[in-house]
Chains A and B, each alone.
Chain A
Amino acid sequence: MLRQVEGSRAVADAVALCRPEVVCAYPISPQTHIVEALAAHVKSGRLSPCEFVTVESEFAAMSVAIGASAVGARAYTATASQGLLYMAEAVYNASGLGLPIVMTVANRAIGAPINIWNDHSDSMSQRDSGWIQLYAETNQEAADLHVQAFRIAEELSLPVMVCMDGFILTHAWEQVDTPSQEEVDAFLPAYEPRQVLDPADPVSIGAMVGPEAFTEVRYLAHARQMQALELIPDVASRFAEAFGRNSGGLVHPYRTDDAETIVIALGSVLGTIKDTVDEMRRDGVRMGVLGITSFRPFPLDAVRTAVGEARHVVVLEKALAVGIGGIVTANVRMAVTPERVSTVIAGLGGRAITKASLHRMLADAIAGRLEPLTFLDLNHELIGNELARMAAGRRSGPMAENLLRDLGAVASRIG
């Protein structure tokens, strides 16, 4: 059913159609609307049987999901930002135990300074947690990815994180086609756990493993993610068969076939980039876009194929690996010759990524002027002032507050 609906609501409805048996929720912006909607589903009885557990922290949220999953219940939670970091220990644990939990991350920056707006710092920090990470470009894809995520997770006994940009997607009202319960039931088989806590057949789950087998355990986790490289496109194609639309998969190439320059990005910014590329194509620039949907496992072959013979790859990243630069870039460089790849850090803490900025940056790229590491729309004046203050004296004061003071009443530009 096609509806004009908020992204969070569309995701919550899709999750509900997957019949999760335990949903645990701890509020954090911008994830709140998702769990609020699920609370209504459960409280109204539309989603039943389902236990909705209002936990005391994200750490508990993931822990409750772990316990539920271990007794064979389909478990779901959602979080963002600080919340994801607060549950980090349990995030690793869930994947280590091979529990097919599905979690939405409403992507948001990480403090300090505290910031509620979108970037990918949170989910990128968990890229090596052993979870599958899928990034949604649109609200439709966000909704669809959840349906696929349960199937992928349960088939592989691996948890899946569906990442959607906070506010940009979660709070955006768009047309979304929500499938019927029958359609989802037909697509998503009942959860049959690989291991389960059952008094009739007791096992011990969560053993301590020493050097004699720890490498093997990690290798097997890796091997299962490698299996996901085949399963994710397979599920996407089955989804397309069942629902008549393309969602998910490993990558979304856009006008890459003859492109000399390819922009790589994740998530909702792909729309803006595609518009920009379309405009540049009209000017005769052979430019393409590669959206990466599956960041973990990282689809090296698919990226390599999509990039092909392109001379220049610009990776536009909404996260910064402080002290080195790009995170996605480092992964892309495993797929293509590293010299071709430049990094553009953009959209941190919710800064808007405008077509104008993209045009300027891409023009530089075509002209060969793009630095290996570029910060899009960086305010050099603000930085200069602060660096000067720091040089002037030891007690230069709190940096974030200094910058805000320099900005004066124009703080609205931050949004």
Chain B
Amino acid sequence: MPLQPIKFYQTGSFVVGNRLLDPDERAVQARIDRTNSLNCGHRACQGCGEALGARYALDAAMRATGNQMVAVNATGCLEVFSTPYPETSWRIPWLHSLFGNAPAVATGVAAGLKAKGRSDVRVVGQGGDGGTVDIGFGCLSGMFERNDDVLFICYDNEAYMNTGVQRSGATPPAARTTTTPAIGPEPGNVFGQGKNVPAIAMAHEIPYVATATVADLRDLEYKVTRAMDFRGARYLHVLVPCPLGWGSASGDTIRIARLAKESGLFPVFEAEGGEVTDVSKIRRRVPVEDYLRLQTRYAHLFGEHGHPGTVARIQAVADRNIRRFGLVEGE
């Protein structure tokens, strides 16, 4: 188990810090001297899950590497909101090249550092789901296949948000995007499509693959830290709700990520060498409806002209995840 055993009932290990915890057991995000790799003044929307996920992940990586780290960023929201000339929000060495090449650029950074005798400096590549599962996928697979010494992090908000919420290979069934409008007999994105990149990453048998959400900070930090224990290609897939694209309240970002995991729609697990080694069990199981109803991208599923059958199909997806990964204790 990545998490510390529960020692007391007040808040245990679920909060960020807590004065009662040993400092070593507090999250990196609890530290006054955390890196703030992504600093104030960035132009992400209110309640942006990606901004949160990126700071969580990179601060943890900075801590794990003793601040010896370089980040490579794909084009996308994260890049655009963090570095509009003349302001950058990054406090780490950071490079943006193109939309589809971040994993390869990261490989180049790692290769350059190795040739220069600086293997102590670690490389993190990062991008959104478009830059990872779609346009950057060739480079990602190449990086995996060569087992280049790169941790690649996908901040998955399930569509092309930067360009105005278009469907990506990570858009879930029934979700409304601007290219899968909520009209017609099967409104929203269709069933039977989409790409499971964590599973594909595992098929490359790279040293480490994990999923996480912004709702469980300590788990996310653990996984980044764990990833840094390995040399070679590593992949972390982080679910980051997008208030704009998902049509959710800006204050609900973490709540929604939590419900994604607790409903079983987003399995949280880790794998080494292509085999699942641990899963985060569902703690308070909820029906997918609890998750869907908070997002207007699913609004067409409910109400007078709703699609209860579609909700049932989504529930079946969650149930299948629960079976496949053993997400519920004792099931």
Given contacts A56-B139, A64-B105, contact A199 B93 (CB under 8 A): yes
- Asked if A59 and B138 make an inter-chain contact with CB atoms under 8 angstroms apart, the answer reads yes
A342 to B104, CA, bound (A): 44
Asked if A66 CB lies within 8 Å of chain B CBs, one says: yes
Is B97 within 8 A of A66, CB to CB? yes
CB contact between B96 and one of A62, A69, A206, A210 (< 8 Å): that residue? A206
Looking at the complex, which one of A53, A63, A71, A72 makes contact with B97 (CB distance below 8 Å)?
Answer: A63
B interface footprint on A41-85 (CB within 8 Å = 1, 0 otherwise): 000000001110111110110111111111111010000000000
Contacts A89-B98, A93-B98, A208-B79; A67 near B104 (Cβ below 8 A): yes
Q: Does A344 contact B (CB under 8 A)?
A: no
Question: Known contacts being A56-B141, A63-B101, is A207 close to B85, with CB within 8 Å?
Answer: yes
Q: Is B114 in the interface zone, CB < 8 Å from A?
A: yes
B108 touches A22 (CB 8 A): yes
Interface residues of B in 139-163 (CB under 8 A from A): 139, 141-142, 145-146, 148
Label chain B's interface by main secondary structure: mixed
What 0/1 readout, one digit per residue, does chain B (110-139) give for beta carbons within 8 Å of chain A?
A: 111111111001000000000000000011
Taken together as a complex, chains A and B put the C-alpha atoms of A22 and B107 apart, in Å, by 11
Interface string of A322-333 (1 = CB under 8 A from B): 000000000000
* Chain B residue nearest in CB terms to A19: B115
CB distance from A79 to the nearest CB of B (A): 14
Set A21, A57, A213: member contacting B112, Cβ < 8 A: A21
Q: Looking at chain A, what size class is its interface with the partner chain?
A: 35 or more
A57 close to B142 (CB less than 8 A): yes
Is B88 within 8 A of A207, CB to CB?
yes
A205 on the interface (CB 8 Å rule)?
Answer: yes
A51 interface neighbour in B68, B86, B90, B114, Cβ under 8 Å: B114
Chain B interface residue count: which class? Answer: 35 or more
Given contacts A53-B148, A63-B108, A209-B85, 17 further A-B contacts (CB under 8 A): A22-B111, A51-B112, A56-B141, A57-B138, A57-B142, A64-B107, A67-B97, A67-B105, A67-B109, A70-B95, A70-B105, A89-B98, A199-B70, A202-B91, A206-B83, A206-B96, A206-B97
| A197 interface contact, C-beta 8 A | yes
Number of CB contacts from chain A to chain B under 8 A? 168
Interface centre among B96, B115, B139, B146 (most CB of A within 10 A): B115
Contacts of B116 in A (CB 8 A): 21, 49, 71-73
Asked if B114 and A97 make an inter-chain contact with CB atoms under 8 angstroms apart, the answer reads no
Contact A204 B68, CB 8 Å, known A49-B117, A59-B139: no
Enumerate chain B interface residues (CB-CB to A < 8 A): 67-70, 72-73, 79-80, 82-86, 88, 90-98, 100-101, 104-118, 121, 138-139, 141-142, 145-146, 148
Residues of A within 8 A of B113 (CB): 71, 73
Whole-angstrom CA separation of A68 from B107 in the bound complex: 8
Chain B residues near A73: list those with CB within 8 A: 111-113, 115-116
4 nearest CB pairs, A to B: A67-B108, A73-B112, A206-B96, A56-B142
Q: Residue A203 at the B interface, CB < 8 A? A: yes
- Bound together, the chains give a CA A56 to CA B104 distance in angstroms of 9
Which of these, B82, B139, B146, contacts A63 with CB under 8 Å?
B139
A24 CB–B CB distance under 8 Å? yes
Check A75–B112 contact: CB distance below 8 A.
yes
Q: Which of B72, B83, B92 contacts A208 (CB 8 A)?
A: B83
Given contacts A49-B117, A55-B104, A208-B79, contact A67 B95 (CB under 8 A): yes
Contacts of B98 in A (CB 8 A): 63, 89-90, 93
- Within 8 Å of chain B (Cβ to Cβ): is A198? yes
B111 touches A199 (CB 8 A): no
The smallest C-beta distance from A205 to any residue of chain B, in angstroms, reads 5
Given known pairs A57-B142, A60-B104, the reply for A205 and B112 (CB within 8 Å) is no
| CB-based contact B108/A69 at 8 Å | yes
What are 23 sample pairs from A and B whose C-beta atoms fall under 8 A apart? A21-B112, A22-B115, A51-B112, A55-B107, A56-B142, A63-B107, A63-B139, A68-B112, A69-B112, A70-B108, A71-B116, A73-B113, A90-B101, A93-B97, A202-B90, A202-B93, A202-B94, A204-B88, A204-B90, A205-B95, A206-B83, A206-B97, A213-B86
Residues of chain A within 8 A of B84, CB atoms compared = 207-208, 210
